[in-house]
């Protein structure tokens, strides 16, 4: 059974019921170990006291906050517990907003909200109410030493939650703007036609991280003593005539056989390998950080 990242009560008006939060997604990546260049052995990171210039064990480490240059106040776990808000144990719904008012730019991490023992009925009630009303709930919850604003929304099987960035955490970029006066009507119509020709149902399972796949293939190839050849770099020519480029794009979409072949090629792009003289196989080591 998956371990929860938060456990407490969700309050909905005067209704309160126990829930747990479970991580809904995590990024997958190929990680590497740091090795000594000469003998390929693992290295250790050592904590060193700057004042005494000697290694110290982790058991002698404490948290400190630098309130001015080279001056620290020590903060222990009990200090942190004393200032934890009530939302460390209670997820309080503050208000309900229309789903289309929540800009996805505010969304951060995703979680499954699951009822704990005794909370099944009020949980089901809130889930059904959110689904039929098309509202999202905004709530507060404290976890990982921070109080978060979260959005609660109905998913296919239950309630999902997303931590949100605060307004002052959203970056304002001056270059992020659009001059719609540059758009010509015929170009817009052609662009809409291209969008329609590329319309599809959202099927996330068909997308894969080619870069991660290639890294894994490269690692396996080096273990097997094969030579790795770089993948060709895609050449993108600058677009001079937008209208002509749109027309060509639409024409390509009308060639289903060619389009399907190109799509399959892109999906199954493989790292080219050349067989080199076999090397003595090294014992497998975990790819690491």
Burial class (CB in 10 A: 0-12, 13-18, 19+), 191: middle
Q: Does residue 130 register a pLDDT over 80? A: yes
The answer to whether residues 13 and 125 belong to one domain is: yes
The answer to whether residues 189 and 265 belong to one domain is: yes
Residue range 256-276: mean pLDDT, rounded: 52
Tell me, what's the pLDDT at 72? Answer: 95
The answer to whether residues 96 and 238 belong to one domain is: no
Residue range 238-263: mean pLDDT, rounded: 70
pLDDT band at 154 (very low <50, low <70, confident <90, very high): very high
The answer to whether residues 191 and 263 belong to one domain is: yes
Largest CA distance in the chain: 73
Residue 125 counted as domain residue: yes
Residue 146 counted as domain residue: yes
Tell me, what's the pLDDT at 264? Answer: 52
Residue 176 counted as domain residue: no
pLDDT band at 1 (very low <50, low <70, confident <90, very high): low
The answer to whether residues 120 and 237 belong to one domain is: no
Residue 175 counted as domain residue: no
The answer to whether residues 158 and 90 belong to one domain is: yes
Residue among 145, 138, 107, 118 nearest 5 (CA):
145
pTM of the model: 0.72
Residue 117 counted as domain residue: yes
- Going by their DSSP bridges, the two strands 6-12 and 15-23 should be labelled as antiparallel
- Going by their DSSP bridges, the two strands 135-143 and 146-154 should be labelled as antiparallel
Residue range 134-154: mean pLDDT, rounded: 95
pLDDT, tens digit, 9 for 90 and up, residues 45-94? 899 999 999 999 999 999 999 999 999 999 998 998 888 888 999 999 99
**How far apart are the C-alpha atoms of 32 and 289, rounded to whole Å?**
4
**How far apart are the C-alpha atoms of 126 and 129, rounded to whole Å?**
5
Q: Does residue 197 register a pLDDT over 60? A: yes
- Going by their DSSP bridges, the two strands 159-164 and 107-115 should be labelled as antiparallel
Q: Which of 121, 146, 168 is the last residue of a domain?
A: 168
The answer to whether residues 123 and 17 belong to one domain is: yes
Tell me, what's the pLDDT at 288? Answer: 44
pLDDT band at 133 (very low <50, low <70, confident <90, very high): very high
The answer to whether residues 14 and 118 belong to one domain is: yes
Residue 174 counted as domain residue: no
| Of residues 1 and 125, more confidently modeled | 125
For residue 200, CA distances in Å to 204, 206, 258, 286 come to 11, 12, 18, 39
The answer to whether residues 161 and 189 belong to one domain is: no
Asked which of 12-16, 77-81, 120-124, 283-287 is least confident by mean pLDDT, the reply is 283-287
Q: What is the mean pLDDT of the chain?
A: 86
Residue 216 counted as domain residue: yes
Residue 56 counted as domain residue: no
The answer to whether residues 244 and 201 belong to one domain is: yes
Residue range 86-109: mean pLDDT, rounded: 95
CB of 35 within 8 A of CB of 42?
A: yes
* Start-end of H helices in the chain: 77-82, 120-133, 185-197, 210-223, 242-253, 256-267
The answer to whether residues 162 and 190 belong to one domain is: no
Above pLDDT 90, what percent of the chain? 55
Domain count, the chain: 2
- Going by their DSSP bridges, the two strands 90-98 and 135-143 should be labelled as antiparallel
Q: Residue 200's domain spans which residues?
A: 182-275
**How far apart are the C-alpha atoms of 85 and 145, rounded to whole Å?**
10
Q: Which two tokens stand for residue 41?
A: 């052995």
CATH number for 140:
2.40.290.10
Residue range 91-101: mean pLDDT, rounded: 95
Residue range 105-128: mean pLDDT, rounded: 96
Q: Which of 110, 138, 168 is the last residue of a domain?
A: 168
The answer to whether residues 109 and 187 belong to one domain is: no
| Of residues 221 and 153, more confidently modeled | 153
Q: Which of 117, 139, 168 is the last residue of a domain?
A: 168
Q: Does residue 289 register a pLDDT over 50? A: no
Q: How far apart are the first and last CA of the chain?
A: 27
Asked which of 2-16, 136-150, 225-239 is least confident by mean pLDDT, the reply is 225-239
């Amino acid at each position: 059974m998956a371990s929860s990242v938060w456990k407490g009560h969700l309050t909905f008006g005067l209704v309160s019921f126990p829930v747990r939060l479970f991580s809904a997604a995590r990024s997958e990546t190929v990680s590497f170990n740091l090795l000594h260049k000469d003998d390929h052995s693992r290295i250790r990171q050592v904590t060193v006291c700057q004042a005494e210039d000697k290694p110290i064990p982790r058991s002698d480490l404490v948290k400190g906050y630098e309130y001015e240059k080279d001056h620290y106040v020590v903060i222990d776990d009990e200090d942190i517990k004393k200032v934890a808000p009530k939302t460390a144990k209670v997820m309080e719904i503050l208000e309900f907003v229309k789903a289309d008012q929540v800009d996805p730019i505010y969304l951060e991490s995703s979680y499954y909200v699951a009822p704990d023992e005794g909370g099944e009925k009020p949980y089901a009630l809130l889930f059904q109410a959110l689904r039929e009303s098309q509202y999202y709930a905004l709530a507060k919850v404290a976890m990982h030493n921070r109080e978060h604003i979260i959005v609660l929304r109905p998913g296919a099987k239950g309630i999902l939650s997303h931590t949100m960035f605060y307004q002052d955490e959203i970056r304002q970029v001056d270059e992020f703007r659009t001059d719609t006066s540059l758009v010509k009507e015929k170009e817009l119509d052609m662009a809409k036609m291209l969008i329609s020709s590329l319309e599809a149902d959202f099927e996330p399972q068909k997308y894969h991280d080619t870069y991660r796949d290639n890294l894994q293939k490269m690692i396996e190839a080096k273990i097997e003593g094969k030579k790795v050849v770089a993948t060709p770099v895609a050449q993108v020519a600058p677009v001079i005539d937008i209208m002509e480029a749109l027309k060509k794009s639409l024409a390509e979409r009308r060639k289903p056989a060619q389009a399907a072949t190109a799509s399959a090629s892109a999906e199954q792009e493989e790292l080219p390998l050349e067989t080199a003289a076999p090397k003595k196989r090294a014992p497998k080591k975990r790819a690491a950080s």
